[in-house]
């Protein structure tokens, strides 16, 4: 059954100098409210008292704080921005407690920390209650900030529910819209394909597909290392606290974001091509954190496998494709993709081998991709046989 997905569409914006000052004020007010609320909760924890509720925090750090001379300037920004800062604190605590109790997957999350004005990435969020809008001229109208020019690169698929204004480490401004997809329209946008693809990720080649296609590794970070070292040396020579040092820091950040943007664009183009041309895509689960502890760490992070696989997964779900992961302990490099005979482990310098059972000659990476595809098809078939039947039209909905 197709489900509605929430996606983020980010666009570059160009605020005027006055609007940049207004955004800086909004960033600062949101940071102060976050820190005040965090301080109150941490003091309550230190004294053994229950955490103040969100409503009590809102009253103390926003409503009552605006009436004091020390926090009167909070009234100069949209109240929605301040309320959303408290929502961010609530989310940070929920994630922390879920991580402590192991109900949240992934690495352990630390307790919420105080924000500082030296954080080079700033963000504020506006919900529908802020009455923001996209004007007829295509500008983004924000309360107490004004109409901001937006570089529209594509149309939004639906009316956005929220917009987050972000200033990144390189000093660029973005508007990030949260939109809901229309599943039927998304699936109709891509015609049904008949291909089933397996993807073997690596470092020599970024990806090898089951049909024999090889995608070269672009090594974005490696190619930019010379310029990055130059920019970093320039930064190290500047006096701490000087304006020249801040300018040099921005140049370093811009060099890094160019690398990240190029890698992300490469991942988007390749993931779109693979999911568009195949009805099912299967990949192998990789131990990225374990590989990052080896001498290959820089190359592993430069490849960005996790980001690429995440793109494959959400695009497959959005456009009605099947997606699956094969366990990392699956011996994709040891099995013959023709007869299924397991031929044992092989050193990494062995790039091709001949099956002793059927005599098939295999390229190591292509054979692994084919085995990943075959195992993914087998797992998908087994899952479909064990899944409960879907109720037909008119059947009563399941009560959760």
115 closest CA partner among 147, 78, 88: 88
Q: Would you say residue 240 lies in a domain?
A: no
141 and 118 in a common domain: yes
Residue tagged active-site, from 36, 88, 186, 200: 200
Residues 180 and 297 in one domain: no
pLDDT tens-digit profile, the chain (400 residues) = 567 888 999 999 999 999 999 999 999 999 999 999 999 999 999 999 998 999 999 999 999 999 999 999 999 999 999 999 999 999 999 999 999 888 888 778 899 999 998 888 899 999 999 999 999 999 999 999 999 999 999 999 889 999 999 999 999 999 999 999 888 888 888 888 889 999 999 988 999 999 999 999 889 999 999 999 999 999 999 999 899 999 999 999 999 999 999 999 999 999 999 999 999 999 998 888 788 788 888 898 999 999 999 999 999 999 999 999 999 889 888 888 888 888 888 888 788 888 888 888 888 899 999 999 999 999 998 888 765 654 444 333 333 3
**Last residue within a domain, chosen from 184, 209, 238:** 184
Boundary of a domain, candidates 159, 184, 209:
184
Catalytic residue flag (residue 329) = no
* Residue 365 annotated to the active site: yes
Residue 245 lies in a domain: no
> In terms of domains, do 148 and 202 share one?
no
Q: Same domain, yes or no, for 116 and 209? A: no
Strand 280-284 to strand 322-326: parallel, antiparallel, or no bridges (unpaired)?
parallel
Q: Which of 88, 302, 313, 365 is catalytic?
A: 365
CATH number for the domain spanning 316: value is 3.30.420
Considering the domain architecture, whether residues 88 and 164 belong to the same structural domain is answered as yes
- Based on the structure, what is the number of domains in the chain? 2
Task: Answer yes or no: do 137 and 197 share one domain.
Answer: no
Q: Is residue 278 part of a domain?
A: yes
Q: Indicate whether 124 belongs to any domain.
A: yes
Residue 239 inside a domain? The answer is no
Answer yes or no: do 312 and 351 share one domain: yes
Q: Which domain holds residue 356?
A: 190-218+265-386
Q: Check whether residue 209 and residue 133 sit in a common domain.
A: no
Same structural domain, 203 and 339: yes
Whether residue 175 is found in the same domain as residue 201: no
Q: Do residues 115 and 40 both lie within one domain?
A: yes
Question: Of 142, 167, 184, at which residue does a domain stop?
Answer: 184
Within a domain: 162: yes
In a domain, 125, yes or no: yes
User: Looking at the domain assignment, is residue 394 inside a domain?
Assistant: no
**pTM score:** 0.86
Task: State whether 312 and 209 are in the same domain.
Answer: yes
Which of these is catalytic: 36, 88, 186, 284? 284
């Amino acid at each position: 059954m197709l489900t509605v997905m929430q996606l983020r569409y980010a666009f570059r914006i160009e605020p005027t100098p006055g609007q940049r000052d207004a955004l800086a004020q909004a960033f600062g007010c949101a940071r102060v409210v976050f820190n005040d609320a965090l301080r109150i909760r941490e003091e309550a924890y230190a004294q053994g008292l229950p955490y103040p509720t969100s409503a009590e925090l809102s009253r103390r750090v926003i409503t009552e704080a605006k009436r004091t001379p020390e926090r009167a300037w909070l009234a100069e920004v949209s109240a929605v921005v301040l309320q959303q800062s408290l929502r961010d604190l609530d989310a940070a605590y929920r994630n922390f407690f879920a991580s402590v109790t192991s109900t949240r997957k992934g690495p352990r999350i630390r307790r919420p920390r105080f924000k500082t004005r030296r954080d080079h990435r700033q963000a504020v969020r506006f919900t529908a209650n802020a009455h923001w809008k996209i004007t007829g001229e295509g500008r983004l109208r924000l309360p107490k900030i004004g109409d901001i020019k937006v570089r529209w690169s594509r149309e939004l698929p639906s009316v956005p529910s929220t917009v987050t204004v972000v200033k990144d480490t390189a000093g660029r401004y973005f508007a990030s819209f949260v939109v809901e997809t229309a599943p039927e329209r998304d699936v109709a946008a891509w015609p049904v394909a008949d291909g089933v693809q397996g993807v073997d990720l690596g470092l020599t080649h970024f990806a090898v597909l089951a049909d024999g296609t090889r995608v070269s590794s672009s090594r974005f970070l490696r190619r930019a290392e010379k310029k990055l070292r130059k920019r970093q040396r320039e930064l190290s020579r500047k006096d701490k606290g000087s304006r020249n040092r801040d300018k040099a820091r921005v140049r370093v950040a811009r060099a890094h974001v160019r690398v990240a943007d190029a890698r992300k664009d490469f991942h988007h183009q390749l993931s779109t091509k693979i999911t568009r041309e195949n009805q099912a895509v299967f990949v192998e689960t990789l131990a990225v954190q374990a590989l990052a502890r080896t001498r290959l760490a820089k190359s592993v992070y430069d490849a960005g496998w996790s980001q690429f696989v995440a793109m494959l997964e959400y695009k497959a779900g959005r456009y009605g494709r099947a997606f699956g992961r094969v366990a990392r302990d699956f011996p994709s490099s040891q099995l013959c993709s023709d007869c299924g005979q397991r031929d044992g482990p092989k050193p990494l310098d062995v790039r091709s081998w001949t099956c002793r059972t059927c005599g098939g000659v295999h390229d190591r990476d292509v054979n692994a991709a084919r085995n990943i595809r075959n195992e993914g098809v087998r797992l998908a078939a087994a899952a479909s046989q064990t899944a409960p039947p879907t109720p037909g039209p008119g059947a009563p909905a399941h009560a959760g």
